[in-house]
Amino acid sequence: MIMLSSSWIFWALLSAGFAALTALCAKIGVSTIDSDLATFIRTLVILGVLGTILLVTGKFHSTEGFNPRACLFLLLSGLATGASWLCYFRALKMGDAVRVAPLDKLSVVFVAILGVTVLGEQLSVKGWLGIAFIGLGAILVSLS
């Protein structure tokens, strides 16, 4: 288990599993509550859990790596996350989770395009084919 937990693949798959639970729980939770209020409640839960983790692990006081550039991009990431959550919960309020979640995963396609163009990362032909399939699959599922 120790070797597995040090793998990025392990954590990415765990993230996907929790994202699936997020969609199902959010769809049920948002059925009787305003989507913006639901997003606020979700955010409070996340703040509480992460705050507890940081306190327990002693990482709350770690300032290593803090610089204006890192802080700016974390701020921008936070704003993008908030906007994404607000839009996601609004979409779940209006549509079926089975259609909303795959369309939301078009973010994988967007990250691939931006990763290559902005960050200078590279994908093989096989990688681009996979990205194309992800995009096509998300669209097909969401429109069915």
Kindly list the domain boundaries of the chain, sorted by start residue: 2-94, 105-144
Residue 2 is predicted with a pLDDT of 61
Residue 62 is predicted with a pLDDT of 74
pTM of the model: 0.84
Query: How crowded is the C-beta side of 65, counted as CA atoms within 13 Å?
Result: 6
Task: Count Cβ neighbours within 10 Å for each residue of 30-47 and write b for 16 or more, e otherwise.
Answer: beeeebeebbeebeeeee
Angle between helical axes of 97-104 and 8-29 (0-180°, round to 10) = 140
User: Which segments of the chain have a pLDDT < 70?
Assistant: 1-2
**How confident is the model over 29-41, as pLDDT tens digits?**
999 999 999 999 9
Residue 61 is predicted with a pLDDT of 79
Could you give the angle at the alpha carbon of 49 between the alpha carbons of 47 and 53, nearest 5°? 115
Handedness of CA 37, 39, 44, 48 (dihedral sign): positive
Instruction: Give the count of beta carbons closer than 10 Å to the beta carbon of residue 134.
Output: 17
Residue 1 is predicted with a pLDDT of 55
Residue of 106, 96, 108, 105 lying closest to 26 (CA atoms): 96
